[in-house]
Amino acid sequence: MQARFYSSNIVLAWTPCLVEIKKGGKSKIKIYKGKRLEPAEGLPEVLVTVEDELGNKKHLIHQGYHSPIGFEWGHLGNRPADLARCILWDFTGNQPPNQVYQEFKRKFVAQWGNNWQITSTEIKKWIIDTYGKDYYIYLTEVADPRD
């Protein structure tokens, strides 16, 4: 199901997130990918997808908080903050704390070029390395963060 909202010449699309798939108690890897498309009306068009291990792709949902007009990356602005927030929200299944997604934005999102990808494994490692195993468990409500 997808809802489209039109404002001026900007199209915002909300698509349900791909939730983490679990089979036999093990989490499958997800790959978050972004790429720039041809600009329209002076605004860059971007595509952000989430792919599971089986190759199933979904658009990452934009749950606007800092910017109503969607995702962006490569700098420290509001649209990259929304991208960081939504990636971590999709990964953890919970709305991430401001300090966590702002740091994720600084460490990763602001550094990305036209095309990028990051795996759930890389995100998990970053959370554990930055905030510790207990905080990872708190964020994700997973019993064992290394499974």
Do the beta carbons of residue 13 and residue 23 sit within 8 Å?
Answer: no
Do 19 and 93 meet the contact criterion of CB atoms below 8 Å apart?
yes
Q: Which pTM does this prediction carry?
A: 0.76
pLDDT value of position 64: 81
- With a CB cutoff of 8 Å and minimum separation 6, the contacts of 120 are 20, 27, 29, 30, 31, 32, 91
Q: What sections of the chain are H helices per DSSP?
A: 78-92, 98-107, 120-131, 133-140
Interaxial angle between packed helices 120-131 and 98-107, expressed in degrees from 0 to 180 and rounded to the nearest 10: 110
Average pLDDT of the chain is: 81
pLDDT at 39: 72
